């Protein structure tokens, strides 16, 4: 599967980057105009085999000294006005297509975590999850699409994430690793597009 999955990643990421180039340009201009700082947010994540890489996203927060939680709840004061729109629409994730092209990520796979959260995974679980490239989307990303709103109700967002959300995500990731296939990836991509662009629950 690895060769066919990589071909799908390269073709899919290239096509979406080409088709969405006007959107990418508009997002970049909006981010730059909204607040001082770089267009892209770069952060260490843990990828295939435990190798670290610096993920790419459109910057959605004011530039700070790095203090604060590494997960974000809805209403976080660090988020810019443009950032709220980008996060809600998931457009902030588009630069990760570059990470797919360079081989750090896949279109579909377990979402890449920051090192300090990966360090808290049980060793056997960590080894299995890191045996595949991390992805832009997966079933956990779909299930927790409103994660920021879930965390907003918590008085301790990091504790809630680590103790309640992270174990559920790990189960999704392990299921993906055990049953992954090209057909399954295509189905996840379809469900992701529907979750973002389909009718919203009221």
| Rounded mean pLDDT, 127-133 | 98
Nearest 5 degrees, angle CA 103-CA 178-CA 15?
Answer: 35
pTM: 0.92
Q: Are strands 40-46 and 106-108 parallel, antiparallel or unpaired?
A: unpaired
- CB of 135 closer than 8 Å to CB of 108: yes
Percent of the chain whose pLDDT exceeds 90: 83
Lowest mean pLDDT among 70-74, 115-119, 165-169, 170-174: 70-74
Lowest mean pLDDT among 20-34, 58-72, 136-150, 164-178: 58-72
Average pLDDT, the chain: 93
| Rounded mean pLDDT, 69-78 | 79
pLDDT at residue 2 is higher than 90: no
| Rounded mean pLDDT, 114-124 | 96
């Amino acid at each position: 599967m690895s060769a066919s999955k990589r071909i799908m990643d390269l073709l899919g990421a290239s096509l979406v980057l080409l088709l969405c180039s006007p959107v990418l340009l508009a997002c970049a201009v909006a981010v730059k105009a909204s607040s001082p700082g770089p267009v892209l947010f770069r952060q260490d994540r843990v990828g295939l085999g435990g190798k670290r890489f610096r993920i790419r996203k459109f910057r959605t927060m004011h530039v700070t000294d790095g203090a604060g939680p590494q997960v974000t709840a809805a209403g976080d004061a660090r988020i810019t006005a443009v950032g709220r729109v980008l996060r809600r629409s998931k457009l902030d994730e588009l630069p990760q297509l570059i990470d797919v092209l360079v081989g750090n990520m896949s279109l579909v796979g377990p979402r890449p975590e920051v090192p300090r959260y990966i360090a808290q995974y049980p060793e056997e679980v960590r080894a299995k999850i890191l045996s595949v490239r991390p992805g832009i989307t997966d079933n956990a990303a779909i299930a927790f699409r409103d994660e920021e709103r879930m965390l907003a109700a918590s008085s301790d967002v990091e504790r809630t994430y680590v103790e309640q959300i992270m174990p559920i995500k790990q189960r999704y990731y392990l299921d993906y690793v055990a049953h992954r296939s090209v057909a399954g990836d295509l189905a996840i991509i379809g469900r992701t597009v529907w979750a973002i662009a389909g009718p919203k629950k009221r």
